[in-house]
Amino acid sequence: MTKTFASKAFGAASPTAKLAPLSIQRREPGPNDVHIEILYCGVCHSDLHQVRDEWKSVMPTVYPCVPGHEIVGRVARVGSDVKKFKVGDIAGVGCMVDSCRTCPQCKAGDEQYCATMPTFTYNFPDKHVGGVTYGGYSDAIVVDEAFVVKVPAGIDPARAAPLLCAGITTYSPLRHWKVGPGHKVGVVGLGGLGHMAVKLARAMGAHVVVFTTSERKRADALKLGAHDVILSTDAQAMQSQLGTFDFILDTVSAPHDFNAYLEQLKLDGSMVLVGAPAEPVPLGVFSLIFKRRRLGGSAIGGIRETQEMLDFCAKHGLAADIELIPAAKLDECFARMVKGDVKYRFVIDIASLK
């Protein structure tokens, strides 16, 4: 039987329960494992979807559920074969803690598209301890070094945490669709993912326009790096730049009209969905057909690419804009997230669990 140790965590016992303290077991590190004392964990809207079992048709939640996949901490112990890390290093863990490592996608560094599914950081069968994996709303985690990244010294660890999901989830499609100078990019939804998309697309040299439902975020959007802001509830504003965008990244967490954004694309333009509303959304095919537009999706990013993203952020002086919270405030923060009231990522100070 795998030897384990106890770790303090915050999790939910049911879809309607408040997040509460609980004790979980972590495996003792094996030869390739890194034991990380977690310092900070970002609060992603996916955590809320999963805790409330909103994705039950695709990924039903197993309770208790300990979410959290924007993890930054200090390396406390390393296994005998670990090469990349030493005790004291600041390390990061994102949405995956393992994958098959042998399929073509894993070999290409796209572990997020592993043929047999990567092992997600929480709510996925845990082959070591049994039950399901538990995420970063906890004071420790043990992960194979192949799924741990280095947090560059130049980035404040608390502000680096959201890069492990919000950062890579927006960086990866921007890179895949080769966004750069001369491109006009739309970012739909200014939340955790959206605000990182703005910073990254701007740093890549694109002209960036934010589509938001929140007039109160206009000034922030410009400060974050957007060149322009369109209030999506203003019909006239939505008409003003129709057919002019090369690329649109949709980060919205709730069902909304895709067609209104597809119409913003120029000939051969692409819109990519990263936001993951639970319910299906109707699609009018003519918004695709008439201008040979493309609609795609994208999931997080690979481990090598996550390191590349962190290094890119360090080089460009980028990190998330955060509100640091104690774990006891998580329910309040979930409620604010549903209202779009986040500036622009909650990050749990894990010292509050002790």
Strand partners, 125: 132
CB atoms within 10 A of CB 139: 23
- 293 three-state secondary structure: coil
Measured from the CB atom, the residue of 268 and 332 that comes closer to ligand NAP is 332
How far apart CA 122 and CA 20 sit, in angstroms, is: 16
Q: Shortest Cβ distance from residue 54 to ligand NAP (Å)?
A: 9
Sign of the Cα torsion 321, 327, 332, 335 reads positive
Q: Mask: binding to ligand NAP, 311-340, rule CB under 6 A, as x and -? A: --------------------------x--x
CB atoms within 10 A of CB 244: 14
- 146 three-state secondary structure: helix
Contacts of 17 (CB under 8 A, 6+ apart): none
For ligand NAP, which residue of 51, 164, 165, 197 counts as binding (CB under 6 A)? 165
Measured from the CB atom, the residue of 206 and 272 that comes closer to Zn ion is 272
Q: Shortest Cβ distance from residue 50 to ligand NAP (Å)?
A: 8
7 binds ligand NAP (CB under 6 A): no
**How do 245-250 and 265-273 pair as beta strands?**
parallel
Task: Determine contact, residues 41/93, Cβ cutoff 8 Å.
Answer: no
Stretch that binds ligand NAP, among 119-127, 144-152, 199-207, 250-258 (CB under 6 A): 250-258
Measured from the CB atom, the residue of 22 and 231 that comes closer to ligand NAP is 231
275, interface contact from ligand NAP, Zn ion, none, CB < 5-8 Å by kind: ligand NAP
Q: Shortest Cβ distance from residue 328 to Zn ion (Å)?
A: 22
44 binds ligand NAP (CB under 6 A): yes
117 binds Zn ion (CB under 5 A): no
Measured from the CB atom, the residue of 100 and 328 that comes closer to Zn ion is 100
Measured from the CB atom, the residue of 24 and 114 that comes closer to Zn ion is 114
Measured from the CB atom, the residue of 311 and 323 that comes closer to ligand NAP is 323
Stretch that binds ligand NAP, among 18-26, 42-50, 283-291, 308-316 (CB under 6 A): 42-50
How far apart CA 165 and CA 192 sit, in angstroms, is: 9
Stretch that binds ligand NAP, among 11-19, 118-126, 174-182, 273-281 (CB under 6 A): 273-281
How far apart CA 114 and CA 107 sit, in angstroms, is: 9
Q: Quick one: DSSP state of residue 138? A: B
Q: Which of 348, 351, 314, 350 is nearest to 331 (CA)?
A: 348
Contact residues: Zn ion, CB under 5 A: 44, 46, 99-100, 103, 106, 114, 165
